[in-house]
Amino acid sequence: MTRRYLIPLAVATVLTAGLVAPAAAQGDREWTADLTTVDADDNGVTSHHGTIRLDRAAPTPASARAAVRTGFLQLDPRTFDAPVNAVAATVKSAVPAGAEVAVDVRGALGDEQWTEWVEARPDAPAVLPTSVTTVQVRLALTAEKASPEVSGLDLRAFTAPASSDVGAQAAGLSYRIFATREGLVGGTTANGHVIVARDHFVALPSRRGLSAKGTGTYSVRVCASNGRCEWAPVWDVGPWNTKDDYWNPSSTREMWKDLPQGKPEAQAAYQDGYNGGKDQFGRTVANPAGIDLADGTFWDGLKLTDNAWVTVTYQWTGSGPAGFVRTAGDPLNVRSGATSTASQVGLAANYAQVRVECQVTGQSVTGSQGTSNIWYRIAAGKYVARAYVSGVSGATTC
């Protein structure tokens, strides 16, 4: 049976303050997605005569430990002649029982930074936290057994009222979260990365903060009670849940809107018996984890020996200068001072985004970005060499 999921192009904003989407004459704001091509940014999906479905080898997110195959089709960014902050979608799809099709949208902030992915739902468009001139759309397909199929996707961008409780903070949102070690070497993450020994990435229980393979658009800073920190990209979805963006305000949270901001559903289920002590899949929650750490992050970056409470900062929710670690593959040493002889106080994984508080002059270092004596302070008492960090602009002197 074919179902036509409608996210109205003239949009449900007529239900909020009577807003009407602007006419299409104001620039190229209506378009039909090209579903004929699958490229390197896509994962777990195939296209046959313009119909998208899950690949036979589509991964099940390793961290979630749920038998739900997942795939993404990430469309090319779309640029407009005037700022927009909302995108509505009309999807033509066949969705079997146990399957789901979702349309996610994000906006470009400049300097390789993007807003978080926001879902355009059948009854409401995706509303971004700020107005942008470039947006990107991705299709997310999931299935327990038979794959859904998407044969059409029409999109429209416009301006809608923004939520008053969404906005970037200079340092980014930060919460104390229980962390577990993911392990699962040889498994495949939600973005298609095959986990290797001593790997460096994290998993969060929502695809809203999921980076594409080989990128760190969505990264976190994880700090342990021993003072060590690691900056790592989000490459998997889990633990426990897959629709629990607990770092967001209740008004925009995917599920569990009655929980306080910053409290994972698994933590509430484990500690308070919330949802009968179960996760979204009906499994009894055995620990309060809201983040999974790859082995290298767990053992080498944080020097943990057991699951532990950590402080997590969600880098993309911050503002100000930021860059991305670029190495040959190994993580970058984070030092207590602006010299390679200063003590190592953490790691920054390859591809990870780092927020730059300020910069100092120190030891000259040659790396992937050339030779420089500039070091960036990325947290109190923590420095990385500019020679291994790309894309930073506007950093001031410490």
pTM beyond 0.85, yes or no: yes
Model pLDDT, residue 383: 98
Burial pattern 384-394, b for ≥16 Cβ within 10 A else e, equals bbbbbbeebee
Structural domains in the chain, CATH included, are 3-158 (2.60.120), 174-317 (2.40.40.10), 322-390 (2.30.30)
Model pLDDT, residue 22: 41
Model pLDDT, residue 28: 56
pLDDT tens, per residue, the chain with 398 residues: 333 333 333 222 222 222 334 444 344 589 999 999 998 888 999 999 999 999 988 888 888 878 889 999 999 999 999 999 999 999 999 999 999 999 999 999 988 899 999 999 888 899 999 999 999 999 999 999 999 999 999 999 999 876 554 445 567 899 999 999 999 999 999 999 999 999 999 999 999 999 999 999 999 999 999 999 999 999 999 999 999 999 999 988 999 999 999 999 999 999 999 999 999 999 999 999 999 999 999 999 999 999 999 999 999 999 889 999 999 999 999 999 999 999 999 999 999 999 999 999 999 999 999 999 999 999 999 999 999 999 999 999 99
Model pLDDT, residue 12: 26
Model pLDDT, residue 26: 46
Model pLDDT, residue 32: 96
Structure tokens that stand for 358 in this block: 């300020």
